[in-house]
A and B are shown apart, each in its own frame.
Chain A
Amino acid sequence: MRRYILLSVAAVLALLVLAACATPTPQVIRETVVVTKEVEKVVTKEVEKVVKETVVVTKEVEKVVEKVVTPTPVDYGKVLILSTQAKPVEEAEKMRGIVLRDFPGQAEFIPEDEGVLIDRVLAEKQAGKGSVDVLIALHGTYPVLLKEDALSDVSALMERLSDRGIPEAFVELGKLGTDTQYYIPVMQATYIFAANKQALEYLPEGADINALTWDELLQWAKNIYEATGQRKLGFPAGEKGLMHRFLEGYIYPSFTGGMVTNFRSDDAVAMWEFFQELWQYVNPQSVTYEFMQEPLLAEEVWVAFDHTARLINAFKERPDDFVAFPAPAGPKGRGFMPVIVGAAIPTTAPNRAGAEALIEYLTAPETQIAILREIGFFPVTNVDFPGYVSVGIRLEGEAVTKQAAAPDALPALLPVGLGARGGEFNKIYRDTFTRIVLNGEDIRTVLDEEAALLQEILDDTGAPCWPPDPPSDGPCQVK
């Protein structure tokens, strides 16, 4: 029996070598190495443990044969991807090693800051010769590039992908207000809340965790503080934390119904007063937090707000200890910020066919699931979560859906049309927060001063209002 197995394994090995020699595409060679290793592993195991696992081995071998004998027919060559997403080293590695692994071609994934990406694409456009094939960026990055005519029409590709089930609203966003498709939505994310299950017993009476109000959140944090003596609410207000998104997309819309127009309204004053009160129960070390999964896992905080991708490790490592839930609602609704990531092709892309194939590959159900598992961005297409998608991710996914589908949901888009000034826009929200909440400055004064700076940016860029603020002719105006 044992000899029979060894023989068959040897035969497979020989077959592999032959197959590899016959079609020397890089893809197949890589596959072969992996497969050989797998077979080697099996062999050693067999020699050690003998007989019992025969069935397993045969199965393994069968799979192996199947994989190798059908090599990928096309090679799309080198496709250079410039991305503002999956930027942390770990995530970038996962993109390269796992998500893009099965693409029939050499997908080269380069993460870059938004500013650098814009500069590079525009420089290539100016030079008339490009190296970048695919862009992966947030919705807000594209209007700048379109203004310089650096994006190519992908309507035909969108047509081909129409059966993927990308929501119509997202497809529409990809047209950037024109009739032409400029980017294909490939993934989405948002910001939600996560809580340690130990915190649940302190939930205020009658509160539904999936439909909280801000007042209930305050009461909750207060209950925890009174019971444990610790400030257990956490926000990512550190250097690379996404605190500004919380202010722009969550608390501002919830209290004022807008992000920009009501920046200095009476509603906004009430909101900041509320936030000052809430902050008494927020861990003061929040000013060092960047990814809330870490203080959650360390139990420095019990309840935290952050981007889904920055909470995912908590759910992955200890799915039984944490719950995910939608952001609370305020007087004007449940403000939340959906983040839509699109893939586009610059006009100067040297490998157009490869670029289109890559975008098609990104929207395939398996890739969508791989993206979800590896970097925590949620699918934009209709996919059923297969059984192997971990509980943690499903928890997040449910919260994301509940948040978006809530009857009082008030989606707030990332700033559009600010171009390079987007950074300064964020700074205004963070400075306002620092001055009012951390330094305790007078709310009215701070709001008036910062509103002037905000208006200056809007006037300079001429950016019209974006949702949730009502559309404007000309630059958006702070009331």
Chain B
Amino acid sequence: MRRRFQWEPYILLLPSTVYLMLFFAWPMLQAFELAFRDENGVWTLEFIQRMVNDVNFWKAVRTTFILIVTIIPLQFLLALAMALLVNAKLRGSDLFVYIYALPLAISDLAAGIIWFAIFTERGYLNTVLYSLGILDQPYIFLNYQTAWPVVAVVLAEVWRATSIVMVVLVAGLQAIPREYDEAAQVFGAGWFTRLWRVTLPLLRPSIQVALILRTILAFQVFAVVLAVAGQALTVLAAEAYRWYGSWRNPHVAAAYAALILVLSLGTTVFYLRTLQVSEEVRV
């Protein structure tokens, strides 16, 4: 007997589909149109050319990638350590979760301002170093001629967004049945072997999700950079913002937005391919 066609799931999906179409897909298409079409409706590559030939373009690309390759590995190491600590169910480990999650509640701009207050010439860091007698006059950290602005942004981003990764990893860890670990223990595997051979492979789906989330967010990093480094650094999203808000050319801004979208999509596909999760690992 043929099963009757089930309408319910589709009806239930409808609202969110409409929502996504209306507020994500449609504006996305419009952004592409804005990037490739001028006021007179002529399709053109002019804005892409202006973006690529702009003095800040390659600087922005470079900084964005530098931030991605430094921030993401750092965050993963830290987040994994934090997640394992939380998952070890030590006494008071709930408290760790709260402490770790605290920066999540702070907006990225506010986080940027906090780190600016630390690194600025008369900021906390200089005050501490000065009172310890290490410096005899304030050191200018946020000097565009040094690498310090990058360091400050990396620290701020790691502080701010590591807990997102941690939350995903903790969820993944908790879904791994204890039996695997116990079995490995019975066979005499040490802590590191168990982590490397049992936990991490089983954690792959979570790592994939976290990586995708983090990388997309890293392409969009913006407020922290502006707040901490001002004009000393520039990233892709900051250029998009400047072209829209300060230089007021929405076409070039849309070109940047489109580039960020393409890069995000590209990395997502890359992660999905390279970290392919086999059926049996899906817990």
User: Is B249 part of the contact surface with A, judged by Cβ < 8 Å?
Assistant: yes
Query: Which B residues, 205 to 233, have Cβ-Cβ distances below 8 Å to chain A?
Result: 226, 228-232
For residue A289, which residues in chain B have a CB less than 8 angstroms away from its CB? 230
Give Cα A422 to B246, complex, Å. Answer: 9
User: Is B144 part of the contact surface with A, judged by Cβ < 8 Å?
Assistant: yes
For residue B229, which residues in chain A have a CB less than 8 angstroms away from its CB? 287-288
Query: Which A residues, 407 to 423, have Cβ-Cβ distances below 8 Å to chain B?
Result: 420-423
B residues near A (Cβ < 8 Å) are 55-56, 116, 120-122, 137-138, 140, 142-145, 226, 228-232, 242, 245-249
* B140 A239 Cβ-Cβ under 8 A: no
Question: Which of the candidate stretches A41-49, A215-223, A430-438 sits at the interface with the other chain?
Answer: A430-438
User: Is A67 part of the contact surface with B, judged by Cβ < 8 Å?
Assistant: no
* B231 A300 Cβ-Cβ under 8 A: no
- For A292-303 the 0/1 string (1 means CB < 8 A from B) is 000100111000
Give Cα A426 to B122, complex, Å. Answer: 30
For residue B140, which residues in chain A have a CB less than 8 angstroms away from its CB? 283-285
* A288 B230 Cβ-Cβ under 8 A: yes
* A423 B246 Cβ-Cβ under 8 A: yes
* A285 B120 Cβ-Cβ under 8 A: yes
For residue A290, which residues in chain B have a CB less than 8 angstroms away from its CB? 230
A residues near B (Cβ < 8 Å) are 113, 115, 229-230, 237-239, 241, 283-285, 287-290, 295, 298-300, 420-424, 426-427, 431, 434-435, 438
Chain B nearest CB, measured from A298 CB (Å): 4
For residue A435, which residues in chain B have a CB less than 8 angstroms away from its CB? 55
For residue A230, which residues in chain B have a CB less than 8 angstroms away from its CB? 137
Give Cα A384 to B248, complex, Å. Answer: 40
Chain A nearest CB, measured from B127 CB (Å): 11
For residue A295, which residues in chain B have a CB less than 8 angstroms away from its CB? 121
Interface pairs (21), CB distance under 8 Å? A113-B245, A115-B248, A229-B137, A230-B137, A237-B231, A241-B231, A283-B140, A285-B142, A288-B142, A288-B231, A288-B232, A290-B230, A295-B121, A298-B120, A300-B121, A423-B246, A423-B248, A424-B247, A424-B249, A426-B246, A434-B55
* A239 B231 Cβ-Cβ under 8 A: yes
* B122 A298 Cβ-Cβ under 8 A: yes
Give Cα A431 to B53, complex, Å. Answer: 13
Closest 5 pairs between A and B when the two form their complex, measured CB to CB: A288-B230, A423-B248, A238-B230, A284-B143, A423-B247
* A287 B230 Cβ-Cβ under 8 A: yes
For residue B247, which residues in chain A have a CB less than 8 angstroms away from its CB? 423-424, 426-427
* B245 A285 Cβ-Cβ under 8 A: no
Extra A-B contacts (12), CB below 8 Å, given A287-B231, A427-B246: A229-B137, A230-B137, A284-B145, A287-B229, A287-B232, A288-B229, A300-B120, A421-B248, A422-B248, A424-B249, A431-B55, A434-B231
Residue among A229, A285, A422 with the most chain B CB within 10 A? A285
* A424 B248 Cβ-Cβ under 8 A: yes
Closest to A439 in B: B55
Query: CB < 8 Å: which of A113, A298, A427 contacts B121?
Result: A298
* A284 B249 Cβ-Cβ under 8 A: no
For residue A421, which residues in chain B have a CB less than 8 angstroms away from its CB? 248
* A238 B231 Cβ-Cβ under 8 A: yes
Give Cα A444 to B226, complex, Å. Answer: 30
Give Cα A113 to B230, complex, Å. Answer: 20
For residue B116, which residues in chain A have a CB less than 8 angstroms away from its CB? 288
For residue B249, which residues in chain A have a CB less than 8 angstroms away from its CB? 423-424
Chain A nearest CB, measured from B44 CB (Å): 14
Give Cα A229 to B135, complex, Å. Answer: 14
Chain B nearest CB, measured from A462 CB (Å): 15
Closest to A428 in B: B247
For residue B144, which residues in chain A have a CB less than 8 angstroms away from its CB? 284, 287, 438
Give Cα A230 to B126, complex, Å. Answer: 15
Chain B nearest CB, measured from A218 CB (Å): 20
For residue A420, which residues in chain B have a CB less than 8 angstroms away from its CB? 248
For residue A229, which residues in chain B have a CB less than 8 angstroms away from its CB? 137
Give Cα A238 to B145, complex, Å. Answer: 15
Give Cα A113 to B137, complex, Å. Answer: 40
For residue A427, which residues in chain B have a CB less than 8 angstroms away from its CB? 242, 246-247
For residue B226, which residues in chain A have a CB less than 8 angstroms away from its CB? 239
* A300 B246 Cβ-Cβ under 8 A: no
Closest to A114 in B: B248
